[in-house]
Chains A and B, each alone.
Chain A
Amino acid sequence: MKKDNTEIYNNIIGIPKAISYYNNYPFYFGFFKGLGFDILLSDKTTTKLINEGSNYVVSDTCLPIKVFVGHVINLLEKGCNTIFIPSLQSTAYKVNNCTKIRGLPEIIRNVIDRSFKMIEPTLDKTNNISFKDFCYDTAHQLDIFDENKIEVAIQYGWSIYNNFQQMTLAGIPFEDAIKYAIENKIVSKPIEIVKPLSVVIMAHGYNLFDERISMSLIKKLEKMGVKAYTGLNVSKQDAISSIEKLGEIQYWANELDLTGAAAYYMLNNKVDGIIALSAFGCGPDSLMVDEIQYHASEKGLPMMHLTIDEHTGEAGFITRVEAFVDMLIRRKRKILKDNNNIKRLPSSKREQTAKKDDKTVSFV
């Protein structure tokens, strides 16, 4: 039995559905397909999976890492024996990632005591390990040394990633975008229903788009009639330039999802409020949220900070979101009233005629 299993899974790479999956999966998909591998994804995040993951690590570790470990275990239980765990150290000179993301392969290697093959390339632009080296390293670890093949695979990966980005920038939800991108399609923007309120959610992809971790926050907001913008709807250039406009420097590699998005929408006056969603004990987030809170209070924009961990109950979560949305509605109504943008409906015919006269006079 075991032999069959290994033969079946020989040509398959497992990708855990956590951390960098939510930012880079389209590229990984295209790249590995180009190299001639199939991809096995782990299951959706469940409470059981989180519990399983947190059995392996120290209790102080943050939720996303626990989830990641859980996904790796899930892949191993499925029988996959080659797992892709990249170490994304820095994405530009001295723009580093969080230590835990940088050390993902180290954590997994020392925490999980099972034998499997780990593909662990490093991306570290501070030490001159470029993205090309990252891709070559991946291929070399899979015993592929044909340069032409690797180049073609990289190009294929980029083409799929570009499709994905084009769709997300146009405002297509994350899951649909990934689905269409993998099918090599580009779908144009759906007709947008104008919603009375809009909010920007500043959160990492791995927190926000994982429905168990974020308790499907986006869908809940949409049900309440609130349009939610995310970091995926802002291009990288816009995000960086708007951070600079606020007078800040990009310090963390994955900062653009949070401060970039929040700064962009804050400067464009497109949103009525900001919701920050971060995992408990997240080091970078504690700083970034503080940074944005400082600027938001200067601009008079309401902001709510939601902290989540594995024990967060859904009921308390909903109440806070609802209260925040209620507050936003009231605030918006008051602003419109103050600016005389809402006209009181005329109660009698007399008033109507009087108003009409007024208008004509004013126009003349």
Chain B
Amino acid sequence: MNELKQRKEQKNRFFQKDNTIAAKDRIVAWPRMGNIDLALVALVSSLGVKIVEPPPNTNEALEIGVKNSIEGICLPYKLNLANYIMALEKGANTLMMFQAPGSCRFGNYTKMAQKTLKKLGYKFDMVVFDMYQSKMKQTLQAFWHVTRCMNPYRYYKGFSMGFNKAFAIDTAERLLFYTRPRELNKGDAERCYKKWYKIIRETNSVLGCKRLKKQVIEDFKQIPIDKKKIVPKVYLLGEFFVLLDPYANKEIEKTLGDLGVEVERQIFFSDWLEHVLKPSFLYKKESHRERCVRFAEKYMKRAIGGETIETVGDTVFASKNGIDGVIHIMPFSCMPEIVSQNILSKVSREEDIPVMSLVFDEQTGKAGYQTRIEAFIDLVKRKKMKSKIKNENKKEEMLAKC
């Protein structure tokens, strides 16, 4: 108990909340991660605070991050730091970040970023969402600290809009993955997705946000598709940030979709949000993590931090649910994913499912991946054909016997 208390005191000392900035003057920014912006903008702006959005992740942004961070750190940190610097230069004075101590180097991100930015001479207040201490309480406290918003209706409006937007954009993405390989006119699905991205971004009422999901589904239904086409399914899994951020993974989903492959992604932002923010007693069905622990039982007896157990469990799950191949992506020198990479080779052998690991870092070129992905997809397609022929032969044999 004493230890716990000590640690809490230490933490409070380190993340001293800066109360000198009035809520009116606050300009909030946060690091980019895929479509996280849509939900957060809706939430924070409805609480009445100004927002600065850092420019999208590009090579130039990454260069800024690489320049200011240490050599051995992983890709997500470099991108996050670049986002911070660019936002601060645009005039932000409050940075938001969530962290989960005890998983991997991720727990040290805010601490390091704070140090680096102070060294560079910026003045700011960093608000940290500590996801492991208490979920909803911490989140509300952090928002209260930033906004000083007393009006409960505004909180309701913000959270409702944020959640609905997150669900809508994720539904759109799911449908995009389904439609892209099957579409008759190339580019239809992509266009539809981009249109809805814009609409979801601009919708600004609670009721409108609630309707979004249905509208998205209806609109995607109208795209002409070839329903009989045989499409191989690939499961995309790995490290959380690289999975969600289209810049970090070099738009691997688009590459796969254009090759005529249906992508199923391990986790969506909204799933994760639900998992993190919902109190555990509200869960009635099996959560994603529990499912993974169940499936990974044969290979792993304990959770070892990071997303190792999810990666392994989902690979086994994929092999048992009619998925033809698994692509495992991770940033360079990611500790948990190296462990899962070691384990996955055995899983691949025993569960009879092709697995390919791709490692991303700042020197990644797209061309090198293209060939590797194409070769892998060829393999997956051939395997699918083979199994189909085998099944047909079996059927014929059965019929002949009858």
Contacts and interface: CB of A to CB of B under 8 A. Distances in A.
Interface in B1-38: 3-4, 7, 10-11, 14
Interface in A268-296: 281-287, 290, 294
Interface stretch (B180-188, B276-284, B341-349, B370-378): B341-349
A122 interface: yes
A294 B118 CA distance: 12
A249 B8 CA distance: 11
A94 B101 contact: yes
Interface stretch (A21-29, A95-103, A174-182, A259-267): A95-103
A263 B115 CA distance: 18
A322 to B, nearest CB: 24
B301 interface: yes
A287 B105 contact: yes
B73 interface: yes
A118 B364 CA distance: 39
A111 B346 CA distance: 7
Interface of A is mostly: mixed
A61 B306 CA distance: 16
Contacts of B70: 286-287, 290
B72 A283 contact: yes
A145 interface: no
A39 B285 CA distance: 48
Interface residues of A, number: 40
B339 interface: yes
Contacts of B7: 93-94, 249
B272 interface: no
A96 B102 contact: yes
B359 interface: yes
A110 interface: yes
Given A93-B4, A106-B304, A111 B336 contact: no
A1 interface: no
B141 interface: no
A60 interface: yes
Interface stretch (A84-92, A184-192, A341-349): A84-92
B224 interface: no
B301 A102 contact: no
Nearest to A57: B342
Given A58-B338, A100-B335, A110 B343 contact: yes
B174 to A, nearest CB: 30
A211 interface: no
Given A92-B3, A126-B102, A100 B299 contact: no
22 contacts: A58-B341, A58-B342, A61-B342, A89-B302, A89-B304, A90-B102, A93-B3, A94-B7, A94-B101, A98-B335, A99-B336, A102-B304, A103-B304, A103-B339, A106-B301, A122-B302, A126-B102, A251-B108, A283-B333, A286-B71, A287-B112, A290-B112
Interface of A: 57-58, 60-62, 87, 89-90, 92-94, 96, 98-100, 102-103, 105-107, 109-111, 113, 120, 122, 126, 244, 247, 249, 251, 281-287, 290, 294
Given A99-B339, A103-B339, 18 more contacts: A58-B338, A90-B102, A93-B4, A94-B132, A98-B335, A99-B305, A99-B306, A103-B300, A106-B343, A107-B339, A110-B347, A244-B10, A249-B11, A282-B72, A283-B333, A286-B73, A287-B70, A287-B72
| 5 tightest Cβ-Cβ pairs between the two chains A and B | A286-B72, A103-B304, A102-B304, A99-B335, A110-B346
